[in-house]
Structure 1
C-alpha cells in the first residue's frame, strides 16, 4: 500500500474526490489512527462520521482513508509503522502532520479535497509543507462526532485542497449552504504579527503577498505569545492523556515517543490546567480586540521551510495559539524569492468568519497569479 493511503476505495460517480484522514469514521472501514495498538482490534465503523455523511449527500466520492502520524500526536508527518508520505516538493523533507497523507493526496492530485484534523496545526502545517491550502475551522463549527479524540477542546476538522477554490468546495461539502463573503464591504485591514526567529525570506514573502493584494497593514507585537504556546501545548497533552491512557497497557505497540508523551502528561496537575484555561481566556480577549480593529491577522504558517526528515523543529509554534483561542485560520502557499519551496501565509479571522478568510485568500491568490501572468 502507498504510504499516502491506509485504505483505497473504489468510489463510483463523478462527484468530487474526497480523501479522509484515518481518524475519521467511514462506514464499513476500520478507523486505525495509524496505530498498531488500535488497528489490531479495530472493527469497521457502523456509520459515517457526520462530516463524511454530509459530504456524501453532496455527491462526494470517498476515494480512500489517508495516512497520518500515529494518534494524531505530532506535526512532522512521520509514521514508522505505516510509512511516511513523501513530501511532493522535496522527498528529503517532512510532509508535515499529523494530516500528512491528506496533504500529499491533494498535492499529487489523487483527491480534489481532503479532510484533516487540526489540534495544534495538523491541517495548516502539512499544507505549508506540501504547498497547498488548508483551513482550520472555528472550534465547534464542524462536528467532531465520529472523529478520534486527541484533545477534546482543541480538536477541529477542516478541508485541504490545491487552491482556495478547492478548499471552499471542501467547506461546502461540510456545510451545503456555505458561500464565501463579498469583499466589497470588507476593509482589507490586516494586523501583521511579527515574531523573532522567522526566516527573513518567509517574512518578506508574506509582506509581499499582502502588499500585492492591496492590504492596509498595522505592525503588531504579541509579547504574550510564548505563554500562549505553552498553555496550548499543556492542555493538548493533558487532554490527550485522558483520551489515550488506556493504550499504555499496550505500550509496546505504540511508537516510543508517543508512549512517553502519554505517560509524562499524567504529571500535569488540575491547578495547572486551570491556569492554562485562564491563559486561553486572556489570549482570546487579546486577539478578539485586534480583530475588532482589523479584518484579519496575518503571519507565516511556519517560521522556517519544511525541516528535513530527522530534524527537530517547532513546526506548530505559529499555529497552536489559534487552537487555544478557537479562531479559524487559513494556510495559503505564496512564492518565496530565491527558493523553489513556497512560503505559507496564515490568515486568522474572527470566530465563524471562514467565509471572509476564504474570500480574502482567493483575493490574495488572484493578485499573486495576476503578477505572474501580467
Structure 2
C-alpha cells in the first residue's frame, strides 16, 4: 500500500500537479481527514474548496488526496489506520505532519506542489523532515472555507514545494497574481536571529552557517515570553479543537487513543481562558511585528532536533519552534539547509511581518541561491 495517498485522481492537462491534503474539499470525493469515524459517514463533496477551485481555474491538476495525521492533530506524520508516508530522506524517521502525504508526494516527484494546513507547524514540520520548502501563510490571507476545522483561530493553508520558486507558484495558485517581491536595493536590514533554549547545537550552527553564506547580517534576539506563547497556542488549539471535534467522542473507540485524549483535554477550558489565549496571541503579534519594524525577518531553525525515528517521537516537541507564529498569525517559511555528506538537512525558518509573504519568499530565494552556489 502506498501510504502517501488516500486517493489518486486522474488529472488531464499540463498544468502543475497538486497534491491536496485530505482535509480539503475536492468535488466528487469525500474527505476522510485520515479518520475512520469521519470516513464511515463522509459523502463526496459537491463543490471544491475555494483553494482548490482557484487552483483549477489557473490550470492546476489535482492529482490526489494526500494522507495525513488523523484529524490534523499531531506533527509526527504517523497514522496507524491509513499508514504512515515514508520519509524519502530516511525511511526509519517520521515524515512530519500533519501534512505528511502532501510533503512526501512532492519529495517523491509525484506532485509539483502540496497543499497542507498549518495550525501549529503542519506545513513547516513535514517540509523540515523531508527536505522541502514549506510556507505557513498569514492568518486570514488564504481561505479556509471547505477545509476541515481544527482551530478556527490558528488554522492556515499553505504550499509545500521542492524549491522557493515552487512555493511561489503554489502561492500563485492560491492567490492569482501573487509574485515574489523584487530584491531590495542597498544593504538589507539585519535579521533577528532568535536564540532559544533546548535546540540541537549542530542545527543552530547549520542555520548560522547558512545565513553567513548568504551574506546576511544578524543580531541575536531572545524572547523570554516564548514558553508562555507555546502554552497559549497549545491551550487555544485544545479548546477550539474540542468544540470542533467533540461529536467524534461518541465513537472514540475508533479514534487513535492520543487523539481521543487530545479532544477530551479541551473540554475543561472556560470561555475566560480561551479569551486569555487570544489576548496572548494579540500580544505576541504586536511584539513580533514591532521587532520586525527593525529587522527584515526573524531567523531560527524549524525543528529543534533531527526528525525522530519512528517510535521515538516526543509528543508536542516537534512544534516547539513553530507554534508561536501561529498564535501571532505571522507568515513563516521553512527552507532546507544542506549539511554535508551523510547528514540530514537542517531547516531554516524565516518569519516575516503579517502579509509579507512576497518579501519572505524573496529572502528565501536569496538564501537558496547562495547555498546552491556554495555547493558548486
State TM-score, norm by structure 2. Answer: 0.98
Distance apart, 1:339 and its partner CA: 4.5
Give the counterpart of 2:356 among 353, 361, 368: 353
- Per-residue CA distance 1:216-255 (angstroms, 9 max, x = gap): 1010000110000000000001000000000001111111
Equivalent residue, structure 2, for 1:273: 274
Equivalent residue, structure 2, for 1:209: 210
Aligned partners of 2:189 and 2:294 also within 8 Å: no
Q: Does 1:218 align with 2:201?
A: no
CA distance in 2, matches of 1:274, 1:94: 34
Alignment of 1:36-75 (within 5 A): 36-75=36-75
Equivalent residue, structure 1, for 2:104: 104
Larger CA deviation: 195-204 vs 185-194: 185-194
CA distance in 2, matches of 1:291, 1:106: 31
CA distance in 1, matches of 2:51, 2:189: 32
CA distance in 1, matches of 2:351, 2:328: 11
Equivalent residue, structure 1, for 2:344: 341
- Give secondary structure in 2 for the equivalent of 1:293: coil
Q: What's the Cα RMSD here? A: 1.0
Equivalent residue, structure 2, for 1:129: 129
Unaligned segments of structure 2, at least 5 residues: none
- Give secondary structure in 2 for the equivalent of 1:315: helix
Larger CA deviation: 112-121 vs 177-186: 177-186
Equivalent residue, structure 2, for 1:303: 304
CA distance in 1, matches of 2:7, 2:116: 16
- Give secondary structure in 2 for the equivalent of 1:127: helix
Equivalent residue, structure 1, for 2:196: 195
CA distance in 1, matches of 2:104, 2:182: 31
Alignment of 1:128-207 (within 5 A): 128-185=128-185, 187-207=188-208
Distance apart, 1:149 and its partner CA: 0.2
Distance apart, 1:338 and its partner CA: 6.5
- Give secondary structure in 2 for the equivalent of 1:159: strand
CA distance in 2, matches of 1:158, 1:347: 15
Aligned partners of 1:4 and 1:104 also within 8 Å: yes
Aligned partners of 1:188 and 1:214 also within 8 Å: no
- Per-residue CA distance 1:279-316 (angstroms, 9 max, x = gap): 21221121111100001000000000001111133000
Distance apart, 1:342 and its partner CA: 0.2
- Per-residue CA distance 1:108-164 (angstroms, 9 max, x = gap): 000000100000000000000000000000000000000000000100000000111
Unaligned segments of structure 1, at least 5 residues: none
Aligned partners of 1:238 and 1:266 also within 8 Å: yes
Aligned partners of 1:201 and 1:336 also within 8 Å: no
Q: Does 1:315 align with 2:329?
A: no
Aligned partners of 1:190 and 1:218 also within 8 Å: yes
CA distance in 2, matches of 1:281, 1:153: 11
- Give secondary structure in 2 for the equivalent of 1:262: helix
CA distance in 1, matches of 2:189, 2:341: 28
CA distance in 1, matches of 2:339, 2:256: 35
Aligned partners of 1:98 and 1:123 also within 8 Å: yes
Alignment of 1:70-81 (within 5 A): 70-81=70-81
State TM-score, norm by structure 1. Answer: 0.98
- Per-residue CA distance 1:48-75 (angstroms, 9 max, x = gap): 0000001001100000000000000000
- Give secondary structure in 1 for the equivalent of 2:184: helix
Aligned partners of 1:29 and 1:44 also within 8 Å: yes
Give the counterpart of 1:363 among 361, 366, 370: 366
